[in-house]
Amino acid sequence: MCKKDGCTNPPIPRGKYCNIHRTGKMCNELGCTSSARGNTGRCKSHGGGARCNELGCTSSARGNTGRCKSHGGGARCNELGCPSSARGNTGRCIVHGGGVRCNELGCPSSAQGNTGRCVTHGGGARCNELECPSSAIGNTGRCVTHGGGARCNELECPSSAIGNTGRCKSHGGGARCPNCIDWIDSRSGSSKYDDYCATCFKRLFPEDPRSTIIYSHTKEIQVRNAVIKESLTNPLFEGFVHDRPLYTSNCDCTHRRRVDHRKLIGNTMLATETDENCHTGYDEQDEKIRYDDLYMIHSGKWIFIRFNPDITRTQKSDIEDRIVVLLEVIQKQIDRIENEENEDLLEIIKLFY
């Protein structure tokens, strides 16, 4: 035990006193009991000792490397090609199995703090929202769902920002698909599809086994399949284009807006879009801008059929029954266009809203 009378703390290595009662200079930061480093008068945490030589970095250097952990100082992970720092004496970073692991049977994740468990199994700080089991993000005291972590910097958007992008997925945050990253309605990439979005991956690599199961059960595909089936017996349903960027002969191709299903009949573009949950999470102003962009590409007449496949408080029918109604509405609009009965530049028909 520490040689200080009444103290039961263990002594520092090769010393007689504990860290609190050790001899030598103490950090001169008010209330700090750590020892000062060299002639700085401060401990590591408060700026004592050698600092990282990376420009603008205030962290302490590790060993004789002249750099902090973040900038490559200290022992590095011995996994081939990994630049992260090793944890403790494990020789590996957290991702590759270094540091204390979660004590949940069979869990390979790292434990958070002194809890002995990973975030998934209850380790680390929890969200302070009543009865919420999720982990708190940073020092916010809340999980992502309840407002923790960085928020999207798009005006009035309540969603969380992805990574360091400052935006949520809907507003362009996170890793984007490299094939459509420059498009105004670009989509986020997925590690399942080699960082492409599912739509681009399916188009670019149609022979890949993963392409055969993409979207196999989505509601949009159910609509597409119904239109294709109808076209086998009804020639008026032939020629619908599914989920491709819109190009016309006069298009400058700068907008690259997608439409779920579209068919050009004369000077009228008939478009059908599957709006899951009535697109309640979409911004009305963004939707208006989208209509404007589409009109810039095709400046003729437009008829939009906005189809909600999901049950609402007032709409309880199954999607199969709704698709039957949708096909009837498409047929009616085709007849109107061919008979030149549509006079407005833009018509929006909402089904099951």
> Do 273 and 346 share a domain, yes or no?
yes
Kind plus residue range of the DSSP H or E element containing 81: none
pLDDT at 133 > cutoff 60:
yes
The answer as to whether 277 is a domain residue is yes
Domain that residue 197 falls in: 150-214
Q: Average of pLDDT values for 145-172?
A: 79
Considering 58-62, 201-205, 281-285, 346-350, the range whose residues carry the highest mean pLDDT is: 346-350
Residues 209 and 304 in one domain: no
Q: Each residue of 77-121: pLDDT tens digit? A: 888 888 888 887 788 888 888 888 888 888 888 888 778 888 888
Find tokens 């029954």 and name the residue: 321
Q: Could you tell me if residue 251 is inside a domain?
A: yes
Are 209 and 228 part of one and the same domain?
no
Q: Left if phi > 0, otherwise alpha if psi is -120 to 50, otherwise beta: which for 160?
A: beta
Query: Residue 304's pLDDT is what?
Result: 94
In a domain, 139, yes or no: no
pLDDT at 209: 85
* 285 within some domain: yes
**Residue 182 sits in the same domain as residue 245:** no
pLDDT at 254 over 70: no
**d(Cα 339, Cα 104) in Å, to the nearest integer?**
69
- pLDDT of 302 reads 94
What per-residue confidence (pLDDT) applies to 342?
A: 94
Domain boundary among 33, 61, 89: 61
Q: What is the pLDDT of residue 350?
A: 92
The whole-number pLDDT of residue 217 equals: 47
Least confident of 22-31, 42-51, 343-352: 22-31
pLDDT of residue 169: 72
322 confidence band (pLDDT: 50, 70, 90)? very high
| Within-domain flag for 130 | no
Q: Are strands 268-274 and 258-265 parallel, antiparallel or unpaired?
A: antiparallel
Looking at the structure, tell me whether residues 258 and 284 fall in a common domain.
yes
Average pLDDT, the chain: 82
Q: Are residues 167 and 239 in the same domain?
A: no
Reported as a single tens digit per residue, the pLDDT across 232-251 is: 999 999 999 887 777 555 54
pLDDT at 187 over 70: yes
Q: What is the pLDDT of residue 266?
A: 93
Q: 324 and 238, same structural domain?
A: yes
What confidence tens digit (pLDDT) does each residue in 274-312 have?
987 776 656 666 677 777 778 777 888 999 999 998 887
Same-domain check for residues 177 and 230? no
Q: How many domains does the chain have?
A: 3
Is 175 domain-assigned? yes
Distances from the Cα of 67 to the Cαs of 50, 75, 84, 119, 150, in angstroms? 9, 11, 13, 29, 28
Q: Say if residue 245 is in the same domain as residue 307.
A: yes
Domain-terminating residue out of 214, 246, 261: 214
User: pTM for the whole thing?
Assistant: 0.45
Instruction: Determine how β-strand 258-265 pairs with β-strand 301-307.
Output: unpaired
User: pLDDT per residue over 142-151, tens digit each?
Assistant: 888 788 888 8
Residues 162 and 275 in one domain: no
Domain boundary among 173, 199, 214: 214
What is the percent of the chain where pLDDT is above 90?
19
Residues 210 and 223 in one domain: no
Say what the pLDDT of residue 324 is.
Answer: 94
What was the pLDDT predicted at 114? 78
What is the mean pLDDT of the segment spanning 22-37?
72
Higher-scoring residue by pLDDT: 170, 208: 208
For the domain that residue 293 is a member of, what is the CATH number?
3.40.1350
User: Is residue 268 domain-resident?
Assistant: yes
Does 240 share its domain with 278? yes
How far, in Å, are 5, 180, 187 from residue 267 at the CA level?
95, 28, 30
89 inside domain: no
Q: For residue 331, is pLDDT > 90?
A: yes
* C-alpha neighbours within 13 Å on the C-beta side of residue 74: 21
For residue 216, pLDDT beyond 80: no
Give the SS3 label for residue 238.
Answer: coil
